[in-house]
Amino acid sequence: MPIRTFSLPATPRRAGPAHTNAPTAARATRPLRPLRALRPAAVVSMVLAGLLIAGLALPAEASELDQTAGRSHGVAPALAVGPEQRLPASTAATDLVQRDGFSATEAAPPPAAAAASAPAAAAESAAAGPAQPAIRWPFPSAVRLSDVFGPRAEPCDGCSAFHKGLDMLPGEGATVGAIADGVVRSVSATDDGGLGVHAVIDHTVDGQLVSSVYAHFQSGSLQVSEGQAISVGQHLGNVGTTGQSTGPHLHFEILLDGATPTDPYAWLTERAGPM
């Protein structure tokens, strides 16, 4: 087979310094292709690239400006900026104040006056003695009984076979006290009958008239008078043996509605407790 030979075209030699501006001048005089001649895909790519570069550059520049401003005023740069908050134009400034519902009042005076008066009240109460109950026994402590309410054998000539009261033996001369507040209905200061020197006092107990009778006082020991107001425990007289009596004792009666005898021991025990 015959061998073919090819000859390469001669490569033009580079122009020297004297011809440096020739290609540039040729390119400068070459007419530019219009933009619409470019392919649409190329145009879109160029626009997106430009937007991307602009988006990356602006935040960086803004951050540098913020940091520079912060350093110039001595304020630390903010890490993030939140959305601006605005109040409606109709909102009043007073609507933003939290109200707790409490109101200021004048402070109560210190209890110094009350505390100071307490010892005085206690001293006054001690001087007056212990408080008296509404109803009490004629004597402050228990005493012996010689006779009780009800039927009995007559202990003396003229004595009743039905004992209307309670005979109590605290000892001759013992002080007799009123069993409750009341008013003196009647008294006898002399030994002029079966009861001797005695007193009858009317009381109101639970809305009912109740009378108490105290008999056989010592002569001259009566301490009250008819119509006198009496306080519970008040001294009425002293134990004696005047009237129809076989020895010093207090004859004590309770009359319901001012007339009907009842058992004094049961009545007092129910209201004043055991003797």
Rounded to two decimals, what is the model's pTM? 0.53
- pLDDT at position 205: 95
| Residue ranges per structural domain of the chain | 144-266
Share of the chain above pLDDT 70, in %: 53
The radius of gyration computed from the CA coordinates of the chain, to the nearest angstrom, equals 63
Which sign, positive or negative, has the C-alpha torsion 254, 255, 261, 267? negative
Q: 73 or 205: which carries more pLDDT confidence?
A: 205
pLDDT for the residue 181: 98
Distance between CA atoms of residues 196 and 23, nearest Å? 168
pLDDT in tens, 10-45: 555 555 544 444 444 445 455 555 545 456 666 667
Max avg pLDDT among 41-55, 75-89, 140-154, 172-186: 172-186
**Range 144-266: architecture per CATH:** Distorted Sandwich (2.70)
Which alpha helices (DSSP H) does 129-197 contain, by range?
A: none
Separation between Cα atoms, residue 41 and residue 168, nearest integer Å: 136
pLDDT tens-digit series, residues 154-176: 766 667 777 899 999 999 999 99
Model pLDDT, residue 152:
78
Q: Identify the sign of the CA torsion 34, 35, 40, 46.
A: positive
